[in-house]
Amino acid sequence: MTMTLEPPTLNSRRGSPSDRLRTTMAAARLSFTWLGVRKSLTAAQKNQAADTFGAEGKFLSAGKKLLDTSHPAFKAVTAIRGRALNYWKGVSLPYPEPGIRLIRQEAIGEFDEQLAVFRDELDEAVSELDRHYDELCTAARQRLGNLFNVSDYPPTLIGMFAIEHDFPSVEPPEYLRQLSPELYAQECQRVQARFDEAVQLAETAFTEELTHLVDHLSDRLRGESDGKPKVFRDTSITNLTEFFDRFRLLNVRSSEQLDQLVQRAQQVIRGVEPQQLRNSASLRSRVGQQLSVVQTQLDQLLVERPRRNILRKPR
């Protein structure tokens, strides 16, 4: 008689933050194909460079920059990569495996569509960069002198840059249940431990981000420069409101204390416009004092976190 072992974790922990994370989120991976613009010097070139300083080539690390990345067309390509990364991180939670983050299952369609937009923008930007490629190569030949090597440069930049994404499975393979029930149970426990850790990573990330935003706004409101109130940008407020929206969407309710601090911070700035803070000293003072209370409690939460993480280690 063959006995199939059911994974104990989901049933025994039903309703836990890690269970909610596991059942409502999906793994999303973002990857890039990107032209390298730096290359190490050959051994002969290193020896030649080392002779200038009376050094030995094997103890010298040296490289060359193939293209001018400050060119507007190149910066436009790089900016799209940065926007794609920021978007991915902004709609997801960390996961304890390199290159993987967790997004809401209901947001997969929107995520897929947005990445398609980034790919189209990248293709257009790379086409524009390719139109300047001869110009960039000519400039590189002049700057690099004898270090210039035409074989370092592809004939075209089309196809040298790409954004890709997929949704890898982080669950134990179902076929393992029949092949080896014991191993399947072990894998279930390993995955559960991963999600337990993901909960802690998310809680820490939210706490640290809120602390940074509150500290920054408090400093702007309470500090002075040359006897005058410090100048602050609208983003000091808008970054907080964007954080509240993201927290509402991605929070897995793992920390009641953090939930309360987010709510208090939100109440402090609710309905407050940046220009109002610039115009009213009394409003600046009131908001600054209320944020100071939140700031102190966040600092305490960060101090307590190492102990709480030890207590919550996966069983």
Same domain, 47 and 187: no
- 52 vs 23, 56, 63, CA distance in Å? 62, 10, 16
Q: Does residue 143 sit in the same domain as residue 20?
A: yes
Residue 284 lies in a domain: yes
Q: Are residues 186 and 147 in the same domain?
A: no
- Model confidence over 250-298: pLDDT tens digits? 998 889 999 999 999 999 999 989 888 888 888 988 998 999 999 999 9
- 53/150 same-domain check: yes
By percentage, how much of the chain surpasses pLDDT 70?
90
Residues 63 and 182 in one domain: no
In a domain? residue 96: yes
Model pLDDT, residue 51: 79
Q: At residue 14, does pLDDT exceed 70?
A: no
Last residue of a domain, one of 143, 166, 189: 166
Q: Are residues 118 and 217 in the same domain?
A: no
**Does the structure show a pLDDT above 70 at 104?**
yes
- Please check whether residues 22 and 162 belong to one and the same domain: yes
Q: Which of 120, 136, 166 is the last residue of a domain?
A: 166
Q: What is the reported pLDDT for 71?
A: 97
Domain end residue (candidates: 107, 137, 166): 166
Same structural domain, 293 and 253 = yes
The boundaries of the domain holding residue 99 are: 9-166
Same domain, 230 and 160: no
Q: Are residues 150 and 202 in the same domain?
A: no
Residue 1 lies in a domain: no
One domain for residues 61 and 159: yes
Q: Kindly state the average pLDDT of the residues 222-251.
A: 84
Q: Does the structure show a pLDDT above 70 at 10?
A: no
Domain annotation covers residue 149: yes
**309 falls in which pLDDT band (50, 70, 90)?**
low
Tally of domains within the chain: 2
State the DSSP string of 233-244.
Answer: -THHHHHHHHHH
What pLDDT is stored for residue 4 in this prediction? 39
Does residue 130 form part of some domain? yes
Answer yes or no: is 2 within a domain.
no
pTM over 0.95: no
In a domain, 3, yes or no: no
In angstroms, the CA 223 to CA 214 distance is 14
Q: Kindly state whether residue 203 falls inside one of the protein's structural domains.
A: yes
- 137-186 pLDDT tens trace: 999 999 999 999 999 999 999 999 999 999 999 999 999 988 999 999 99
- CB 96, CB 28: distance < 8 Å: no
Contacts for 265 with CB less than 8 Å, ≥ 6 apart: 210, 214, 240, 244, 291, 294
Shared-domain flag, residues 82 and 162: yes
